[in-house]
Structure 1
Amino acid sequence: MKKVSFFQSVRLKLIVVYILLLLLGIQVIGAYFVDKLEEQLEENFTSSIEGTIRSLTYSLQNSFQLDRDETDPSLKSDVQNLIQDFDESDIQKLLVVDSNGRIIAEQNEELRVSNVGKKVLIPRITSALQLPSSESSHDIRQDGETGNRLLVGATSILSSNEEQALGAVYYQADMSEVYGQLQTINNIFATGAVLAITITALLGILVARTITKPLSAMRRQALVMSTGDFSQKVTVHGNDEIGQLGIAFNDLTEKLKLSQATTEGERRKLSSVLSNMSDGVIATDRLGAVTLMNAPASKLIGQSFYEVQGQSLIDILELSDQLNDISEIDSIGSVIIDLSEDDQHLLLKANFSVVQDENEEMNGFITVLSDVTEQEKVEQERREFVSNVSHELRTPLTTMRSYIEALTDGAWQDKEIAPRFLDVTQNETDRMIRLVNDLLQLSKMERKQDTGLFKEKVDFVPFFDHIIDRFEMNRDENMNHQRELSKQHLYVWIDKDKITQVLDNVISNAIKYSPEGGTITFQAQPVNKHLQVSISDQGLGMPSDTVDKIFDRFYRVDKARSREMGGTGLGLAIAREIIEAHHGQIWAKSQEGKGTTVFFTLPLISQKRRRRK
C-alpha cells in the first residue's frame, strides 16, 4: 500500500477544519462588530453634526426674529458673520436660505463664485420650508465626484411660536474620517485574524498530530497484520476515544491471531484429510467452475488442478450427455462415469452434494470420485460365475433327467440300453460331484480359510520326475515327452499333494490339447531365488488377449471340446490359488498354431537355511 501524501492525509483535513471554524467565528464576530461599530460611529458623527447645526440654527433664529426684512442688509450681514464664525471642519457645505428659498449666506470651499441671492430648488430645503420642524432631516449619500460619503441634511429656522419657517439651513458633512477610522479598525481586525489563523494552523498541526499519530500507528499495524503477522501491538497513549480504539484494535489483533491459528489448523486438517483420502474430491463454485481438487481426483481424471482450475465440472467429467446444466447435479445424486481408454478400463462413481452458505443458498458443489472399476469387475465376475455354475449344472442335470425319464418309460427293461443309460447317469453324477468339490475348494482358498496345506522340504526335480513318469506310463504312443530339468538340487517348501494337483491339472490340459505326435516339454530351472517350472505343448494355442483369462473360473478356449473331455473349467483357477498360497506366481504364454506354455514359480529354500537345518 502506497504512502498517504500530506495533501490527502487526515492531518491536513483537521487543520483545514480548524482554520475554517476559526474563519467562520472571526467572520461572524467581525461582521457583527463592524456593523455595530459603523452604526455607532455614524450615530456619534450625526449627533455631533446635528448638535452643531442646532446651535447654529438657534443663533440664526435670533437674528431672523429681529424685526427686519429678509432683504435687509443687516440680516444678511449678521447671518454671514455667523456663518463665517462657524467653525466645523467636517461640514464642507453650508447654506442659509430665507423663507423664499433664496440663499442669504453660504459656506462652500469648493465654489469660488458666490451663490448668495440665488434661489435653490433642493428638495430637502423645500421640505424644511414647507414643513417647519425643530428636528433636522438627514440621510447619507455618496459624492459622485470624490466617492466620499456625505451626511446631507436640512433644518428649519422657526419663528418664535415655532409655527412658521423663517428660513432653513442646508448642510453637507464629510464622513470620510468616520469611514477612515472604520477602515483602520477593519485592517487591525484583519491583521489579528491572520495572526489568529496562523497560530491556529500551528496549533492545529500539533493537535492533528496527536490525533493522527495513533491512527498512523494503527494503519502500520494493519499493514503488518495483512501479511499474517499478529505479534505486534499498538501503543495506547491515553484513555480517550482514540485510546479506547487502540485497546479495541489490540483486542481485535489477539482475536484475529487466535482465529487465524484455528483456521490454519482446520485448513491443515482438511488438507491432510483430502491428501490422504483414497477417493477424489472436487469442489466448484455455484456456476460449476472448479475451485479445489485433491491429488487422488487429479490422478483419477488424469489432469492436474492447475489444468482444470476454473473449467466446468460438466466438461471435465464428460457429463454433457447426462446433464444440460450444472443446477441439475443436485437432482441426480450420483452417476457412473466411464473414462475407459483403449488400453485401460476405468469406471468412476461420482457422488454430488450441494454446499450452502449461511442463508441456505446454494454456494457450490462437492463431488466425490470413487474408482469402482474393480467393484464392477468383481460384480461382473460374480454374475458370470452364477451364470456359469448354473450352466455347468444344468447340462448334466438335463442329461440325467432325460435318461431317467427314458428308464422310467420302460428302457430299464432293455438289457442293452439300461446299463448304458445308467453308466451315463453315473458319469454325469460324478461330474457334478467333482464340480461341487472344486467349487468348495476354490471358495475356501479365495476366502483365505484353512486350506489344509501340509508343507515339507522337497527336492523338486526328483518329485517332478516322478509325476512325469506317472503320465508316461499312460501316455499315447504318438505323444512325446521331453524333459529339460536342472541337475541341481532345488529344494522348496511345499504341500506335495497340492502341487501334485497343480501339475496334474496343467499336464492333463497339455495332453488334452496336444495333437497326435506332438511333444510336451517339461522344464525346471532356478531363476532369481525362485524355482521356475514350465510345461509346453504344441497344440492350437490361443489368442494373446485371452491368455490371462484361462485362470478365471469356468473359462474355456474351446468350450465344446472341454466338456467332451470332462473338464469342470475350474482346474487352472484352483491351480492359481494353490500357487499363490505357496507365495508363487503362475502365468501362461501362447501363440495361435504354435502351442501354449504354462509357467509357475515357487520360492527356493536358501543355502544358509539348508545348512542350519
Structure 2
Amino acid sequence: DPLGLDMKYVTVRVDRGGCILGIVRFALPLSRVQPEIRSIYRIVLFGAVAAVIIALIVAYFVSRSITLPIRQMQETAQQIAKGDFGKRVRIKSRDELGELAKSFNTMADELQHQMENLRRMDRMRTDFVANVSHELKTPLTLIRGYIETLEDRAMDDKKAATKFISIIKEHADRLANIVNDLLSLSELELSDDSVHKTEFDLKEIIDEISLGFGHALADKKQMLTVSSQGGDLTIRADHDKIEQVFVNLIDNAVKYTKESGCIELSLVELDREVCVTVQDNGIGIPREHRERIFERFYRVDKARSRDLGGTGLGLSIAKHIVLAHNGKISIESEFNKGTKISVILPKE
C-alpha cells in the first residue's frame, strides 16, 4: 500500500452488455481486524490445549475404570490362589465388567463351597480311620487278653474257661457286626445297583419287625405301638434294605429309651409317598449333636453306646438306604424328653 499500511483488498468487476464498465475496489486496513484475528488465534489455541487436557483426563479415567476392575480381579484371584477363599470382587457396575465380576464371584463361591466340602470330607475320612481303628482295636485287645489268660491258667478251670470263651465269642461277634456294617455302607456308597426293588406292604414289614423285638421290650418293660393312616401303604423298594432301616431305628429306640418307656411307630399315606415315624420318650439328643447324628461312628455318649452294643453305623446305613430310594430322613429330638425320626419313602 502507498501509505505503508497492511491492507485487505476486495475487487469487483462491473460489466454491462458484455463490456467492462469499470472495477470497484474496496480496501480495509488490517490494523482494524488484526486484534480480532489474534484474539481468535488465542481462543483456538487455548481451546485446543484445553481439549487435549480434557481428552487426557477423560482417557485416564476411562482407562482407570477399565483397568482397575481387572486389577481388582487379578489381585482377588491371587489371594484365592493362596487359600483365602473368602475374597470377592467388589464391582457393582452393570456393564460387561460388572457381569464378568459377577461370574467371577459366582465361581469363587462355588470354589469355596467345594473346598469346604473337601475339608469336611477330609476330616470325616480322618475321623473314620481313627474310629475304625479304635472300634476294631478295642475288641481285639480284649480277645487277645482273654486268650492269653486262657493259655496261662484258666484252661484247667472249666467254668472260667467257658466264661472267657463266651466273652471272646461276644467280642468276635461285635467285630463281625462292624465289618458287615462297613461292607453294607461301602456297597451303598459305591454301587449303583445295590437296590433291588420289589412291591410289598410296608405295614406288614413294620409289624414283623415289631414282633421281633418282643423279648427286648419285655426285658425293659417297654411298650411299642404301631398305627397307620391310609388305605394303601404299598411301596416299591428293596425289601431287605428297608427292613434293615427300621430294624436299626427301632433298635436304637429300644436301647435309648428307659425302662417302662413308650415307643410309637406311625405310618401315614401321603400323595405318592409313605411317611413312617419312630418316636420314643427316651434320653433324647442334645442340640449340638443332632447335625452329626447320621455320620459314621458318631456317638453322643460313646461309652454308653458301646455298652449297649452298637457299632455306631446304624443311622448312617439307614440314611444311605433311604437316600438310595430317593427318600428323606430327618430327626427331631429334645434332650431328656425323647426323639422322633421321620422317614419318607416314595411309593414307586
Q: TM-score, normalised by structure 1?
A: 0.41
Q: Is the radius of gyration larger for structure 1 or structure 2? A: 1
Per-residue deviation, residues 408-436 of structure 1 (Å, max 9, x unmatched): 22322221222222222222122112111
Counterpart of 1:336 in structure 2 is 83
- Percent of residue pairs identical: 34
Q: Is the 8 A contact 1:461 1:490 kept in 2?
A: yes
Match of 1:471 among 204, 209, 213: 213
Other structure's SS at 2:83 match? strand
Q: 1:483 aligned to 2:226?
A: yes
Structure 2 letter corresponding to 1:604: K
Counterpart of 1:493 in structure 2 is 236
Counterpart of 1:391 in structure 2 is 134
Distance (whole Å) between structure 1 residues aligned to residue 6 and residue 139 of structure 2: 128
Distance (whole Å) between structure 1 residues aligned to residue 80 and residue 117 of structure 2: 22
Per-residue deviation, residues 339-382 of structure 1 (Å, max 9, x unmatched): xxxxxxxx6599xxxxxxxxxxxxxxx99843111111111111
What's the offset of the Cα at 1:398?
A: 1.1
What's the offset of the Cα at 1:542?
A: 1.1
Q: Is the 8 A contact 2:222 2:259 kept in 1?
A: yes
Q: Where do residues 340-351 of structure 1 align in structure 2 (5 Å cutoff)?
A: 348=86
Counterpart of 2:63 in structure 1 is none
What's the offset of the Cα at 1:507?
A: 0.4
Bigger share in helix: 2
Aligned length: 278
Structure 1 letter corresponding to 2:188: M
Q: 1:548 aligned to 2:291?
A: yes
Other structure's SS at 2:281 match? coil
Q: Is the 8 A contact 2:196 2:237 kept in 1?
A: yes
What's the offset of the Cα at 1:577?
A: 0.8
Q: Quick one: structure 1 residues 192 and 521, their matched pair in 2 at CA, closer, same or farther if it must change by over 3 Å?
A: closer
Per-residue deviation, residues 169-209 of structure 1 (Å, max 9, x unmatched): xxxxxxxxxxxxxxxxx727x5897549999xxxxxxxxxx
Match of 1:588 among 331, 334, 337: 331
What's the offset of the Cα at 1:333?
A: 8.6
Q: Quick one: structure 1 residues 485 and 497, their matched pair in 2 at CA, closer, same or farther if it must change by over 3 Å?
A: same
Distance (whole Å) between structure 1 residues aligned to residue 246 and residue 80 of structure 2: 52
Q: Quick one: structure 1 residues 333 and 456, their matched pair in 2 at CA, closer, same or farther if it must change by over 3 Å?
A: closer
Per-residue deviation, residues 241-299 of structure 1 (Å, max 9, x unmatched): xxxxxxxxxxxxxxxxxxxxxxxxxxxxxxxxxxxxxxxxxxx97xxx654778xxxxx
Q: Where do residues 398-437 of structure 1 align in structure 2 (5 Å cutoff)?
A: 398-437=141-180
Distance (whole Å) between structure 1 residues aligned to residue 186 and residue 230 of structure 2: 38
Counterpart of 1:187 in structure 2 is 2
Structure 2 letter corresponding to 1:476: A
Counterpart of 1:36 in structure 2 is none
Other structure's SS at 2:158 match? coil
Structure 2 letter corresponding to 1:460: L
Structure 2 letter corresponding to 1:403: Y
Counterpart of 1:455 in structure 2 is 197
Per-residue deviation, residues 190-234 of structure 1 (Å, max 9, x unmatched): 5897549999xxxxxxxxxxxxxxxxxxxxxxxxxx9xxxxxxxx
Counterpart of 2:32 in structure 1 is none
Distance (whole Å) between structure 2 residues aligned to residue 413 and residue 445 of structure 1: 47
Work out which structure has the larger RCO, using CA pairs closer than 8 Å and 6 or more positions apart in sequence.
2
Distance (whole Å) between structure 2 residues aligned to residue 336 and residue 374 of structure 1: 15
Other structure's SS at 1:533 match? strand
Q: 1:599 aligned to 2:348?
A: no
Other structure's SS at 2:179 match? helix
The runs of 5 or more residues in structure 1 that have no matched partner are 1-185, 200-225, 227-283, 295-311, 318-328, 338-346, 351-365, 606-613
Other structure's SS at 1:476 match? helix
What's the offset of the Cα at 1:476?
A: 1.1
Distance (whole Å) between structure 2 residues aligned to residue 333 and residue 548 of structure 1: 29
Q: Where do residues 119-518 of structure 1 align in structure 2 (5 Å cutoff)?
A: 187=2, 190=4, 195=9, 290-291=69-70, 334-337=81-84, 348=86, 369=108, 370-371=111-112, 372-451=115-194, 453-472=195-214, 475-476=217-218, 478-518=221-261
Other structure's SS at 1:575 match? helix
Distance (whole Å) between structure 2 residues aligned to residue 349 and residue 381 of structure 1: 26
Distance (whole Å) between structure 1 residues aligned to residue 306 and residue 253 of structure 2: 16
Q: Quick one: structure 1 residues 464 and 193, their matched pair in 2 at CA, closer, same or farther if it must change by over 3 Å?
A: closer
Distance (whole Å) between structure 2 residues aligned to residue 463 and residue 483 of structure 1: 11
What's the offset of the Cα at 1:535?
A: 0.8
Structure 1 letter corresponding to 2:223: N
Distance (whole Å) between structure 2 residues aligned to residue 505 and residue 429 of structure 1: 20
What's the offset of the Cα at 1:446?
A: 1.3
Q: TM-score, normalised by structure 2?
A: 0.70
Structure 2 letter corresponding to 1:405: E
Q: Quick one: structure 1 residues 291 and 593, their matched pair in 2 at CA, closer, same or farther if it must change by over 3 Å?
A: same
Distance (whole Å) between structure 2 residues aligned to residue 523 and residue 388 of structure 1: 34
Per-residue deviation, residues 381-406 of structure 1 (Å, max 9, x unmatched): 11111111111111111111211222
Structure 2 letter corresponding to 1:383: T
Q: Quick one: structure 1 residues 449 and 432, their matched pair in 2 at CA, closer, same or farther if it must change by over 3 Å?
A: farther
Structure 2 letter corresponding to 1:486: Q
Distance (whole Å) between structure 1 residues aligned to residue 196 and residue 215 of structure 2: 28
Note the aligned Cα RMSD (angstroms).
3.4
Distance (whole Å) between structure 1 residues aligned to residue 269 and residue 302 of structure 2: 35
Per-residue deviation, residues 486-534 of structure 1 (Å, max 9, x unmatched): 2512221011111111111110110011111111101000234211001
Per-residue deviation, residues 149-173 of structure 1 (Å, max 9, x unmatched): xxxxxxxxxxxxxxxxxxxxxxxxx
Distance (whole Å) between structure 2 residues aligned to residue 432 and residue 447 of structure 1: 22
Distance (whole Å) between structure 2 residues aligned to residue 389 and residue 413 of structure 1: 36
What's the offset of the Cα at 1:469?
A: 2.4
Structure 1 letter corresponding to 2:222: M
Distance (whole Å) between structure 1 residues aligned to residue 218 and residue 265 of structure 2: 17
Structure 2 letter corresponding to 1:377: R
Match of 1:576 among 319, 331, 337: 319
Distance (whole Å) between structure 2 residues aligned to residue 511 and residue 336 of structure 1: 47
Distance (whole Å) between structure 2 residues aligned to residue 444 and residue 194 of structure 1: 107
Per-residue deviation, residues 562-589 of structure 1 (Å, max 9, x unmatched): 1112211011111111111111011111
Structure 2 letter corresponding to 1:398: T
Q: 1:523 aligned to 2:266?
A: yes
Structure 2 letter corresponding to 1:466: E
Q: Quick one: structure 1 residues 334 and 412, their matched pair in 2 at CA, closer, same or farther if it must change by over 3 Å?
A: farther
